[in-house]
Structure 1
Amino acid sequence: MKSQETEVILKRILVGVLSISILALPAFAQTTSEPKTKKPNIVYFLVDNTGWGSFGVYGGTVATPNIDKLASQGIRFNNYNVEAQCTPSRSAIMTGRHPVRSGTTSVPWPGQGKAGMAPWEYTIAKLLSDSGYATALYGKWHLGDTQGRLPNDQGFDEWWGIQNTWFEAGYTQWPLFKESGLPVPMIWEGKKGQQSKPVMPLDLKIRPIIDEKYIIPKTVEYIKKNAAADKPFFVYVGYSEMHEPPMPNPNFSLKSKARGGVFADLIAEMDYRVGQVMDAVKEAGVEDNTIFIFSSDNAGGGASPQIGGATNGPFRGDFFNTPFEGSMRVPAMIRWPGKVPSGVVTEEMFAAVDWMPTIAGMVGSSNLVPKDRPIDGIDASNFMFGKSKTTGREYYPFFGIDGQLMSIKWKIYKTIYRYAQSPVSIQQPFVTAQIPMIYDLSSDPHEDNNLMYTDLTLGWVYAQNFKWIDGYERSVKEYPNIKVGEDFKGYPKK
């Protein structure tokens, strides 16, 4: 046999042996070089009592270049809906459930007793923690002020901020406050597995600088720390403005280019702080893998008329003038470069309760959304990714602070069963209409023309509402709503 033929045969044998060896390797050895899907980071920037028309992209007159840029880089919602007050809106975001189910339909008042979410509730922070995320909250909580009902008990690894609301900053200015026997309002911090502790007083000295000196720097540091550690993170920013008492930062007071007074100063600073967090994400090198959500928890007006400014856009109603669109429709936007399409402005209906299942869908953790309780939120992740033309939400029910139904939006029609009178709605009782009022929001966004006063042929819309009402009532029989402050442990297993 010639030497060349021998060499060819030997090469063939060697190739065969190598092929057999490779095929015999265990599966993990064959796939170790394949890239793993990395979980996206999540920044949720939640502003307080800031209405639909506050920013440039929503027709506002104060320059908001950072917020406008954020909106242009993702999806901006024109029909994003929230709940009646701070506590119910934040409860909806956290749990994906209407607050009436969780006993969180209204803001708890001092001396009222235990309130907020029961520890049994499964929050978006718990879901993301169970998905391998580092989780943190900086700023306002407002979902419980007793040990066991604070952020570090509800899925957050750490938190720094206030238990309840910003107007507690003004309590100690009143001479008789000491005689009330209430403790001095404090700022708190805590870590998972430990009891939270107070760290400094919440007063009018810190009120105008708390975002600048604490909330934003802590958020920025958290982003940098986890990005450097290559750890997926969820940071929830409970920004302080525009909540009572509205107090401009000295660096922004009377300096807005709009020269609009307190309102303009607060919006200008808000935009600057959003820009700081956006820059932190970019500088940390994780911008392309970070979901950035920006929204408000409630509409403007009502309790803060002294700051000026028309904040609720073209809609009727404000914070207390419910359930008109100006009280429930607020700004919201989401960005994820390369995943969420940019430059989208949508009239699709979306709501606070939808964030929990939607975020779960976007990070691949839908399997963790609870199935042992009613979840009212809709997973709109396909819409966020540009894979669907609709969010999937056709109905939006609005409950009052008493836990009773006030209105139902179905597609373009809004049916109002009860409403607050104006002016000064906060001083007025709810009124029940003799015949529920129906408005066509597509042609009458200001809700001026009650079609059931001018044209009774629209009565068929009630049938659509009863479909939702019947389904809700059946679910309540099966899963009774949790009472305020109840130490709820769960529904009987089936």
Structure 2
Amino acid sequence: MSDGRPNIVFVLSDNVGWGDYSCYGGSTATPRIDKLASKGIRFTNYSVEAQCTPTRSAILTGRQSVRSGTYTVPLPGAGKSGLCPWEYTIANLLSDAGYATSLFGKWHCGDTEGRLPTDQGFDEWWGYRNSADECGWTSYAMFDAIAKARGLQPPQIWEGTKGGKQTAVRELNLEVRPFLEELITGKATDYIKRAAAAGKPFFTYVGLSHIHPPEAPHPDFDQTSPDRLGAYADILAEIDYRVGQIVDCVEEAGIANNTLIVYSSDNTATPGGQLHDIQGGSNGPFRGSFVDLPWEGSYRTAAIVRWPGTVPAGVVTDEMLSCHDWYTTFAALAGASDRVPDDRPIDGVDASKFLLGKSDATGRETLLHFGPDGEIWSSKWRNVKAVFRWSSNIEGPIVTPQFPMVYDLRSDPGESVNLFASKLDMGWMFGVAAAPVAEYEKSIAKYPNIKTGEEFTGYKAEPGS
């Protein structure tokens, strides 16, 4: 029996663009995702961070990733990385509030003991520690020689339980790559059935593998429809199908009316195949892509929320929301806002009243965009955006303009007209864009950012506190 608190099923795709889904204007049919959106709220102004690890860190902690030292994807051999044990994740918070917690699929927030999912609040997990790019490692003949010489192990899929041992299940390679989505979804749906039967509220985080290179369509979707010409469309069709399987599982378990389902992506697409080994991807009307910072196409992606009978259906909104906001919002929906830490900066806003139809606003009006160097690249206030630094592609240099570039995202979503270069009567826009920068700088003076890999144990209490 439910105690009235919602189960939370959080489904996160990997590198799928704002304009890829048909309900966002995409040309590949995504009927299950479209239906999910029609039964709840579809956000058109939802933003993530610049890369996989930063976004996932932000979701888990409600904090800008730069605060946790997780502002860039860790490279092999670079040393310890990921969330330090001191961080209090949403899994920690919900677990302490009486929820069962689980994670299936991609982690990418630390690959060493003490920084794995079951060290960070999850009761159980099955998946891979870093990213799907590791599927291709063992395909190189040289890898075997390097591995033997340096003691490297082939990438693995792991499973574990809180307080228990991490066990390698099978090798993460090109053989398993086409079947990862099926395997992850199977584990997630099995868990949902078990959790529903147990009656305890649960939180499950499903980190899907698509669309991340090296890619390979599942045989059931590989050119199996005349409506899809290429591999990108085939993989989108599989994502849609797997999301549908998760929704169906929730409904068949009889818990739909007490289950919040969120579907989103951790990053945007890379149109033209710059980062994908398959051609495709759309960020809709927005300039840039995953590797073109800090344009809207770098950060804005899809977000859909459904909770039958509680979250209003059929809502499409341009209200701002960010990946940092799930933390405080989930805490509120679980009746656990008092567990949100007050000994560190929390950047998320509580958008629960908006989700419940009790407010016309999410509460978010500003957002800072950071880059993989840990610096601020742009500042956004509603639909006014100031760009302080930019880069044209993954190989391009970082450019700092003489003056910040200012854009009106409402009338110019492609960020093609720099208002400061064409008119000088908009100085007030600099002021509203600079305000969150000043607030951030004030916060780090009191709470310095944690360094990557640091064994941080907490901030010193102020005298008399």
Shorter chain as denominator, the TM-score bin is: over 0.9
- The answer to whether residue 353 in structure 2 is matched with residue 382 in structure 1 is yes
Residues 62, 348 of structure 2: 8 Å contact kept:
yes
Find the aligned partners of 1:200 and 1:439 in 2 and give their Cα distance.
49
| Deviation, structure 1 residue 456 | 1.5
| Deviation, structure 1 residue 257 | 4.3
Judging changes above 3 Å, is the alpha-carbon distance between structure 1 residues 303 and 190 closer, same or farther for their aligned structure 2 residues?
A: farther
| Deviation, structure 1 residue 36 | 8.5
1:16-55 to 2 correspondence within 5 Å?
37-55=3-21
> Which string of whole-angstrom CA distances, capped at 9 and with x for unpartnered residues, describes residues 71-124 of structure 1?
001100000000000000000000000000000000001111100000100101
In structure 2, the residue matched to 1:353 is 324
Find the aligned partners of 2:438 and 2:312 in 1 and give their Cα distance.
37
TM-score, normalized by length of structure 1? 0.91
| Deviation, structure 1 residue 396 | 0.9
1:304-343 to 2 correspondence within 5 Å?
304-343=275-314
Residues 45, 293 of structure 1: 8 Å contact kept:
yes
Which residue, 47, 61, 71 being the options, matches 1:105? 71
Q: State the 4+ residue runs in structure 1 displaced beyond 6 angstroms.
A: none
> Which string of whole-angstrom CA distances, capped at 9 and with x for unpartnered residues, describes residues 264-320 of structure 1?
100001101001000000000000000000000000116435422242111110010
Residues 408, 465 of structure 1: 8 Å contact kept:
yes
Find the aligned partners of 1:65 and 1:257 in 2 and give their Cα distance.
16
- The answer to whether residue 265 in structure 2 is matched with residue 296 in structure 1 is yes
In structure 2, the residue matched to 1:193 is 163
Residues 256, 264 of structure 1: 8 Å contact kept:
no
Return the letter of the residue paired with 1:398.
Answer: H
Residues 186, 202 of structure 1: 8 Å contact kept:
yes
Using the aligned pairs only, state the percent identity. 54
Residues 147, 195 of structure 1: 8 Å contact kept:
no
**Structure 2: stretches of 5+ with no match in the other structure:** none
Which residue, 209, 216, 238 being the options, matches 1:247? 216
Find the aligned partners of 1:220 and 1:40 in 2 and give their Cα distance.
17
> Which string of whole-angstrom CA distances, capped at 9 and with x for unpartnered residues, describes residues 221-270 of structure 1?
11111111111111100000001112100111012443231011000011
Root-mean-square deviation (CA), in Å? 1.2
SS in 1 for 2:425: helix
Find the aligned partners of 1:476 and 1:95 in 2 and give their Cα distance.
17
SS in 2 for 1:139: strand
Find the aligned partners of 1:188 and 1:483 in 2 and give their Cα distance.
27
* Count of matched residue positions in the alignment of Structure 1 and Structure 2: 456
Which residue, 456, 459, 464 being the options, matches 1:491? 459
Find the aligned partners of 2:42 and 2:226 in 1 and give their Cα distance.
25
**Structure 1: stretches of 5+ with no match in the other structure:** 1-34
Return the letter of the residue paired with 1:351.
Answer: S
- The answer to whether residue 147 in structure 2 is matched with residue 204 in structure 1 is no
Find the aligned partners of 1:174 and 1:420 in 2 and give their Cα distance.
31
| Deviation, structure 1 residue 461 | 1.2
Find the aligned partners of 1:131 and 1:450 in 2 and give their Cα distance.
48
SS in 2 for 1:460: helix
Find the aligned partners of 1:155 and 1:256 in 2 and give their Cα distance.
42
Which residue, 73, 76, 93 being the options, matches 1:127? 93
In structure 1, the residue matched to 2:240 is 271
In structure 1, the residue matched to 2:189 is 220
Find the aligned partners of 2:426 and 2:13 in 1 and give their Cα distance.
38
Find the aligned partners of 1:430 and 1:258 in 2 and give their Cα distance.
40
SS in 2 for 1:293: strand
Which residue, 473, 477, 482 being the options, matches 2:445? 477
SS in 1 for 2:399: strand
Larger radius of gyration: 1
In structure 2, the residue matched to 1:231 is 200
Deviates more, 1:296-305 or 1:347-356: 296-305
Judging changes above 3 Å, is the alpha-carbon distance between structure 1 residues 162 and 310 closer, same or farther for their aligned structure 2 residues?
A: closer
Find the aligned partners of 1:310 and 1:100 in 2 and give their Cα distance.
28
Find the aligned partners of 1:55 and 1:380 in 2 and give their Cα distance.
24
TM-score, normalized by length of structure 2? 0.96
> Which string of whole-angstrom CA distances, capped at 9 and with x for unpartnered residues, describes residues 10-55 of structure 1?
xxxxxxxxxxxxxxxxxxxxxxxxx985211110000000000111
> Which string of whole-angstrom CA distances, capped at 9 and with x for unpartnered residues, describes residues 409-458 of structure 1?
1111110000012xxx1111211011100000010000000001001111
Residues 384, 433 of structure 2: 8 Å contact kept:
no
Find the aligned partners of 1:166 and 1:228 in 2 and give their Cα distance.
32
Find the aligned partners of 1:356 and 1:398 in 2 and give their Cα distance.
18
